[in-house]
Amino acid sequence: MTDHLGQDTMTDPHASVRVARASFAYLFEPGNKNLRFLVTSNGPESIYAELQGSEEVSVWTLRRELRGTPPAQLWDQAKDAVAAAARAGQRIVIPEDPDWPPRLTDLAATDPDPDIDIGAAALCLWVRGNAPVAATLDRSITITGAHNPTAYGTHIATQLAAGATDRGWTVVASGGLGIATAAHRGALVRGGATVAVLPCGLDRAFPAGNADLLTSVTDRGLLISFWPPGTPPTQERAATLRPVLAALSAGTVLVETPPRASSLQVLRHAINIGRPAMVVPGPITSVLSAGCHQVLRQHAEARLVTGIDDVLTDLAAPNAGPPNHDGVTPSSSRARIPPSADSRTGCPIRSGKEPAPWPNTKHPSPAARRGSDAPPGTSSTRPRTSSPS
């Protein structure tokens, strides 16, 4: 016997909880503090039973696509949507499942927006792909960067992803254009698993130009979303995923990004939750690397990396806390790296200190330059030596 989610109610111990959480995820945007309070205090099943048919549901933050819908129709639409997801081969993973990615709980310690509780953003995950969620993400690296990278950035992202795959790591990215595309392709070309986290329903290929790529990601790894089928992508939903991209994996690598780009926020969220934050430098003449260099100057926690060996070294840094069974630092125990603990503090950028100001002197004359090393009171003219007779 199955419910409308396609779950076997005889073997699924969380069938009723799954129904409640999936229905809430259909109705509300992630991070609804009112809903989190009620679910935490009373349990999802109790709140689900209480709210069905209630007029109160319409005054909460419904998804924009549902605003104006009569409350009596909302719950029927929710049931239809989750049934459609099951028919389309999507799974609904909830926090009560053993397959729930445990690193997401790190977001509960951060609250960057007083109106949106990112720590409670995921009532459930909508998943496509047969790979287990928790195990696939256990050894994973997030790669993020520019949407319009140079050939250099594309090459570096591809090589990092391929190297990570060769060493048994999963590559996590946004499924978007640019560096994310290169990261997914780098993993796929090596036959490895990769995970795309999308700001829309999984029945939509976003961006449309990556439809074939996302199909390949589904075959080899996972597509993950916070939103039910039919949900279109928006800038607000993409912003919601930035801390999630940082939290799902063991560490984040930033490859080529301009100042004020959204990918910078992914790395800063990794820093905020104490996760390894790594940056690939680029040419100082390239605006597409200026964001990377900015992070290295402003955040002592950011680590400069030049390849996958550097990345894996930083993920397993001895001063990052006790490792788990895979030898990788748990997300909750990594200590922030003070500048004094960095082996590369000889560089002003790495130490977090401003370099000494350049002397404000006039250009010396050639004669003065020749005698600049002479002690005071001595001649600046080099003595001649007589030729041997």
- Distance between CA 83 and CA 197 in Å, rounded? 22
The CB density around residue 316, as the number of other CB atoms within 10 Å, is 16
Q: Where are the domains of the chain?
A: 1-87, 90-351
**What architecture is the 90-351 domain classified under in CATH?**
3-Layer(aba) Sandwich (3.40)
pLDDT in tens, the chain (389 residues): 445 444 555 578 888 899 999 999 998 888 777 787 888 888 889 888 888 766 666 556 788 888 878 877 888 888 888 888 888 889 999 999 999 999 988 886 655 454 445 555 578 999 999 999 999 999 999 999 999 999 999 999 999 999 999 999 999 999 999 999 999 999 999 999 999 999 999 999 999 999 999 999 999 999 999 999 989 999 999 999 999 999 999 999 999 999 989 999 999 999 999 999 999 999 999 999 999 999 999 999 999 999 999 999 999 865 443 334 344 443 333 333 333 333 333 333 333 444 444 344 344 444 444 444 444 444 444 444 444 43
Q: Which of 105, 94, 100, 186 is nearest to 136 (CA)?
A: 100
Structure tokens at 138: 């256990």
Question: 3-class DSSP state for residue 197?
Answer: strand
Angle at 175 between CA 293 and CA 23, to 5 degrees: 120
Confidence (pTM): 0.77
The residues, ordered by sequence, that sit 6+ positions from 65 with a Cβ below 8 Å of its Cβ are 230, 231, 232
